[in-house]
Structure 1
């Protein structure tokens, strides 16, 4: 198989991949929706397509972050925005931890776990955006 060198054909190939991805996503969401209706939320989460859907969504989100950072027009300092975003994230994680700990049937340990999960899951994309902005600023 030869590598495509014509830009028009490359663009057409990318459009075809995008359509195939959209059809695949609609199929996965349809199957998961059917499982939700017939088996409930637990049945849907037990389906292996749930894992595929979540992983695909995360990968697509990370790829979109890369594009959105390149499209930014502001020349703000990456360090200032990193510090501000991490401060907001830390505040939200603490609030969620406190509210979770005081719910009926919850413990302080479950509140700490929720807070740490929010901190890690929010911190990884924030750190990735910071690295992208820093690299773009150096170029």
Structure 2
């Protein structure tokens, strides 16, 4: 098999891969939806396809962040964006910590654990986006 050298064919191949990915993702969502309807939320999350779906969604999100930073038109200050994102993330965590005790089944461990998980899971993409923007600014200078 020969390596593709024509740019038009490379782009066509990438579009075909994207279409196959979309069809595969829709199939996974359909299977998980069927499990949700028949077995409930626990049956859906016990399915191994759930982990495949979550992992592919996370990887796709991180890869699309790289593309979106490369196509930003104006030069953005990475530190300003980092501060804004951190303020939003901390406000979400504090709000969830305030609202969680209103639910009867939550105890103090859950009230501290769930906002902590929100913070860690939100901090990873924020720092990744900051690093991408900082690297882009250094490359353009």
TM-score between both structures, scaled by the size of structure 2 = 0.92
Kindly state the Cα deviation for residue 90 of structure 1 after the two structures are TM-superposed.
Answer: 1.0
Instruction: Give yes or no for contact 1:101–1:109 (8 Å, CA) kept in 2.
Output: no
**Is the counterpart of residue 32 in structure 1 residue 55 in structure 2?**
no
Kindly state the Cα deviation for residue 12 of structure 1 after the two structures are TM-superposed.
Answer: 1.4
**Is the counterpart of residue 93 in structure 1 residue 93 in structure 2?**
yes
- C-alpha change, 1:105 and 1:34, in structure 2 (3 Å) is closer
Q: In 2, distance between residues paired with 1:72 and 1:138? A: 15
1:67 corresponds to? 67
1:82 corresponds to? 82
Kindly state the Cα deviation for residue 91 of structure 1 after the two structures are TM-superposed.
Answer: 1.7
Q: In 2, distance between residues paired with 1:41 and 1:76? A: 41
* Runs of 5+ consecutive residues of structure 2 not aligned to the other structure: none
Q: In 2, distance between residues paired with 1:93 and 1:4? A: 49
Kindly state the Cα deviation for residue 76 of structure 1 after the two structures are TM-superposed.
Answer: 2.7
Instruction: Give yes or no for contact 1:36–1:44 (8 Å, CA) kept in 2.
Output: yes
Q: Provide the aligned length of Structure 1 versus Structure 2.
A: 139
* Runs of 5+ consecutive residues of structure 1 not aligned to the other structure: none
Q: In 2, distance between residues paired with 1:34 and 1:16? A: 27
Alignment of structure 1 residues 2-13 onto 2, 5 Å = 2-13=2-13
Q: In 2, distance between residues paired with 1:4 and 1:76? A: 36
Instruction: Give yes or no for contact 2:76–2:133 (8 Å, CA) kept in 1.
Output: no
Give the CA RMSD over aligned residues. 1.3
